C-alpha cells in the first residue's frame, strides 16, 4: 500500500503515526481511529500473529501500515524498530506510547520482585526507550501521547508496581512536555479510567466490564485532541466511566 500524502481534508490525513501495543485493546482502537482519519501507521507489540492480524485489518482502510514486533523493554528491539522507521524517510508526526501491563492484586509485602521489575520495565523504562528513539525523527508540529492511567494521579491498593510506574510515567511526561514546548512538539498525558480490554484478565478477572468504557471511546477522545490546531494543545486528558465507580 503506497503512503497516503498529507491533504487539507483532515489535519491528520497523510500523517505518520507510531503506536506501541497496537495489536489489541486501546492501542488497536487508536490505530483504527487514526487510519480512518487517513494516517499512515507503524504498529508494534510483541505478539507477531496478533500484530499481523491487526495489520491486515488496518490496511483495508486504505492507509500504509508497517507492522513490526518490538519489545519496548529491550533497547535492541527498540533500536531495530527505529532503523525501519528511519528507512521510511518520513518524519514521525504522532507517537502513541501505549504499550503497558498490569499485575495481579498483591499487597507490597507479597509482590514478587520479578513482577515489580516487569511492570516498571514495560510501563516506565519502555516509555523512555521508545520516546528517546522517536525524538530523533520528530519535528516541530508533531505530537506525543503517553497512555498513562488514572493510576498516575491516584492509587489503587494491591497495584503498587502499576501505580508507581504510572506516577513515574506522569513525571516523565510532564518533564518531556516542558522540554519539547520550545521545539513545537506537543505532549499529551492520557489518563483513562477503567476500559474494557484484556488488561483486566491480569488485574481483576471478575471486574464488572459492563461498567467500563470501550477502547473506542478512549480512541475518539485521543483523535479529537490530535486534531486541535497546531498553535494550541491539550496537555492532559482524563476520561472515565461516567458512573465514576471504577
Ligand atoms: N484498560 C484499562 O482499564 C486501562 C486504563 C488506563 C490505562 N490503561 C493503559 O492502556 C494501555 C493499553 O492497555 P490495554 O488496556 O489496551 O491492555 P491490553 O489489551 O492488554 O494491551 C496492552 C498492549 O501492550 C502490549 N505490550 C505489553 N507489553 C509489551 C512490551 N513489553 N513490549 C511491547 N508491547 C507490549 C500488548 O501486546 P503484546 O502482549 O503482544 O506485546 C498489547 O498490545 C496500557 O498502558 C494501560 O496501562 C488501560
Distance CA 82, CA 77 (A): 9
- In short, whether 26's Cβ falls inside 6 Å of ligand 1 is yes
What pLDDT is recorded for position 246? Answer: 65
Q: Which atom of ligand 1 is nearest to the CA of 201?
A: 20
CB proximity list for 73: less than 8 A, separation 6 or greater: 121, 122, 125, 126, 129
Per-residue pLDDT tens over the stretch 151-165: 999 999 999 999 999
Check pLDDT > 80 for residue 10.
no
SS3 call for 178: helix
Give the model's confidence band at 244: pLDDT under 50 very low, under 70 low, under 90 confident, else very high.
confident
Check pLDDT > 80 for residue 115.
yes
The domain locations on the chain are 16-239
CB proximity list for 93: less than 8 A, separation 6 or greater: 15, 16, 17, 39, 138, 141, 142, 143
Q: Is 162 a catalytic residue?
A: yes
CATH topology for the 16-239 domain: Rossmann fold (3.40.50)
What kind and span of H or E run contains 143? strand 138-147
For the record, the C-alpha cell of 191 comes out as 489518563
More confident residue, 204 or 186: 186
Per-residue pLDDT tens over the stretch 131-154: 999 999 999 999 999 999 999 999
- In short, whether 196's Cβ falls inside 6 Å of ligand 1 is no
Check pLDDT > 90 for residue 1.
no
Residue 200 and residue 207 in contact, taking contact as beta carbons nearer than 8 Å:
yes
Distance CA 221, CA 224 (A): 5
Of 162, 172, 200, 204, which is the active-site residue? 162
Rg (CA), the chain: 17
Considering only CA atoms, which residue is closest to atom 7 of ligand 1? 149
Per-residue pLDDT tens over the stretch 44-89: 999 999 999 999 999 999 999 999 999 999 999 999 999 999 999 9
Check pLDDT > 90 for residue 243.
no
CB proximity list for 172: less than 8 A, separation 6 or greater: 124, 127, 128, 131, 146
Per-residue pLDDT tens over the stretch 226-240: 999 989 999 999 999
Amino acid at each position: 500500500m503506497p503512503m497516503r500524502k498529507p491533504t487539507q481534508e483532515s489535519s491528520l490525513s497523510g500523517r505518520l503515526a507510531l503506536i506501541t501495543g497496537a495489536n489489541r485493546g486501546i492501542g488497536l482502537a487508536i490505530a483504527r481511529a487514526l487510519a480512518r482519519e487517513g494516517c499512515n501507521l507503524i504498529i508494534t507489540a510483541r505478539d507477531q500473529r496478533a500484530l499481523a492480524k491487526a495489520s491486515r485489518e488496518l490496511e483495508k482502510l486504505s492507509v500504509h501500515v508497517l507492522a513490526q514486533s518490538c519489545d519496548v523493554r529491550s533497547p535492541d528491539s527498540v533500536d531495530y524498530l527505529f532503523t525501519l522507521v528511519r528507512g521510511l524517510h518520513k518524519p514521525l508526526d504522532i507517537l502513541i506510547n501505549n504499550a503497558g501491563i498490569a499485575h495481579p492484586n498483591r499487597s507490597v509485602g507479597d509482590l514478587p520482585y520479578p513482577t515489580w521489575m516487569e511492570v516498571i520495565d514495560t510501563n516506565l523504562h519502555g516509555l523512555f526507550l521508545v520516546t528517546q528513539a522517536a525524538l530523533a525523527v520528530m519535528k516541530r508540529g508533531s505530537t506525543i501521547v503517553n497512555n498513562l492511567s488514572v493510576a498516575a494521579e491516584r492509587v489503587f491498593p494491591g497495584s503498587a508496581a502499576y501505580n508507581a510506574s504510572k506516577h513515574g510515567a506522569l513525571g516523565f511526561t510532564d518533564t518531556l512536555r516542558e522540554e519539547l514546548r520550545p521545539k513545537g512538539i506537543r505532549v499529551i498525558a492520557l489518563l483513562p479510567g477503567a476500559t474494557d480490554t484484556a488488561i483486566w484478565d491480569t488485574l481483576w478477572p471478575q471486574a464488572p466490564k459492563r461498567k467500563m468504557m470501550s477502547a473506542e471511546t478512549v480512541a475518539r477522545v485521543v483523535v479529537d485532541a490530535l486534531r486541535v490546531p497546531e498553535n494550541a494543545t491539550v496537555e492532559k486528558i482524563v476520561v472515565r466511566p461516567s458512573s465514576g465507580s471504577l
